[in-house]
Amino acid sequence: MIDHFLFQVFIYLVAAVVSVPIAKRLGLGSVLGYLIAGVIIGPFVLKLVGQDTEDVMHFAEFGVVLMLFLIGLELRPALLWRLKKQILGVGSSQVALTTAIIFAIAYFVGLQWKESLAIGLILALSSTAIVLQTLSEKGLLKTQAGRNSFSVLLFQDISLIPILAFLPLLAIAAVESHSGGGHDGYGTNYVEKLESWQLVLLILFIVSFIIVGGRFLSRPVFKFIAGTNLREIFIAFALFLIVGITLAMQFVGLSPALGTFLAGVVLADSEYRHAIETDIEPFKGLLLGLFFISIGASINFNLLFNNAELIALLLFGLIVIKFFVLLFVGKIFKFNNSENFLFSFALAQGGEFAFVLFSFASQNNVVSVENTQVLILVVALSMLLTPLMFIINEKFVQKSLNKKADDDEEVEIEENNPVIIAGFGRFGQIVGRFLHAHEIGTTVLDHDASQIDLVRRFGYKVYYGDSSSPDLLRAAGAEEAKLFVVAIDDKEKANETVKTIKKHFPHLKIMARAFDRSHTYELLHEGVDNVRRETFDSALQLGIDALVSMGYPKYQASRDALTFKHHDEQTLSELAEHWGDEKKYILHSNERNKNLLQILREDEKGIDDSNDHSWERPFDPEE
């Protein structure tokens, strides 16, 4: 007999493996792929999974907990403090305004004020899981719009605590304590016998223990476990910490995601941060995927078809209200148009915590069962539409904004710079500064609005947008420029940009940053004139230092490095024609490696090391 649980797991995994690669190929993103997979295998299409998707969803919500923990690892307390304006200012404004507007509409259509207020509070929250996953996938999480979105989501997660405490106070009728703890997972029944002051003390104790334990107690344990060289035990301890914090947060009725986020922030300065991050990431990805699939599978299509007009109206109303509230808040806090639209499209949906809060509100007789079922469906559909809203923003809104910005900028251009740099991060900045030092004008293209604002203050001409867009390149002066430097932190986008330049501006000489050897071959095949691997020179310099530390004279180490560099560049050029044919590539690569060894040995025989000491002592101008 086939085990039912294993069969369910098998179905979920098959759905993920089949749908997500297809969705990614179509440019829809992995999140939408998971959601569509859930719809297909759900009880209303193929019926491969039953009505027990709710239980799966609550298990998979642990993926949200892991995601918040990993985000916390990236945020040192100092950085979190710098985001206080966005967290408190932008976050509180969005929640307050959205709640007020939805409350007013619900009360106007005839709901009691308590139910209206509860619905407003719950629908003010957005989806942490979908938004952060999509922003991360698109490389937008570290942009200004990404940071603003994260700050609002963090405030919403924090506000979950007072909302959970406030909902029972809105009870329309007196109710007895619900048994079984519900399925909210926040454990209010465990501590309901405590006095308020006792609960506050317990919460403060647990939060303090997380901070102190993460800061001082976890490090020696991680050090001890790391010394055993047993990776599975290291992973087990990391998961033990996260699960333990989750249980502690549930015990006192707090959000597990918030607790693990706090633990992540505390461990952000730990020397084991990167190891923890690497080990936890696969669990987070799998559980989040399971969570998204379960959301898709939980959509009640019978309810949708029977109330199609009402649900369509509510869905449209929810997205429009949240979108324009976010747009208004962005204007108040002076976001530029591009980042403001991304920020608004990203958060204009209901959140996963709505499933918890609406069920909790229903159990406490704050929101009726009928309204709860309809609103949960509306939230699920809004989450399903979120990846599509990202696509609309990217394909239509941002392009329109860029075109308008380009038209405005063209009027002000009085001269065209000879060099255009696409990407002004850690690599592009060095190139730009070096050219500026020689009084060579540059025009910069970048997709990070905050970076653009900073760069413009230093006198660079900057354009926001997609560097593979012919219109943007034309507006930046590509028709008159002499050199184009591709320094983009995205392989696919770099390749697309090169193709566009070769097609529309063939006169431009192209120099490009490559991530590794394989990317170098891709760029060379596209016709790039000059390619530099981003880590090659610094790695070679470290190789020189390594040889010197092993007893080699500094002159010999430097000379060998120069020989190695010339040989590697020749090898790269020769092997480019064999890239794609693994047999020939390996054969010629081995021959070139033998040739390098012979060259270095012959070179060492001819070295006159009588003056090697001059490399080791300070320069004396009197000599």
Between CA 493 and CA 466 the distance in angstroms is 8
Name the amino acid, one letter, at 541.
Answer: Q
SS3 readout for 548-602 = HHCCCCHHHHHHHHHHHHHHHHHHHHHHHHHCCCHHHHHHHHHHHHHHHHHHHHH
pLDDT at 175: 40
**What does residue 443 show for φ and ψ, rounded to 5 degrees?**
-115, 130
pLDDT at 102: 96
**What does residue 97 show for φ and ψ, rounded to 5 degrees?**
-65, -45
Between CA 431 and CA 441 the distance in angstroms is 12
| Structure-block tokens of residue 536 | 């090659």
| Structure-block tokens of residue 47 | 């019926």
pLDDT at 412: 43
Between CA 247 and CA 242 the distance in angstroms is 9
Between CA 418 and CA 327 the distance in angstroms is 38
Name the amino acid, one letter, at 175.
Answer: V
Q: Which domains does the chain have, with CATH numbers?
A: 4-399 (1.20.1530.20), 413-534 (3.40.50.720), 536-607 (no CATH)
Q: Which of 87, 96, 103, 104 is nearest to 125 (CA)?
A: 96
pLDDT at 603: 66
Counting beta carbons within 10 angstroms of the beta carbon of residue 423, is it exposed (0 to 12), middle (13 to 18) or buried (19 or more)? buried
pLDDT at 190: 52
| Structure-block tokens of residue 141 | 């999480």
Between CA 316 and CA 349 the distance in angstroms is 10
Name the amino acid, one letter, at 403.
Answer: K
pTM equals: 0.59
Q: Which of 338, 329, 291, 355 is nearest to 152 (CA)?
A: 329
Q: Which residues of the chain fall below pLDDT 50? A: 172-189, 406, 408-414, 617-623
pLDDT at 173: 40
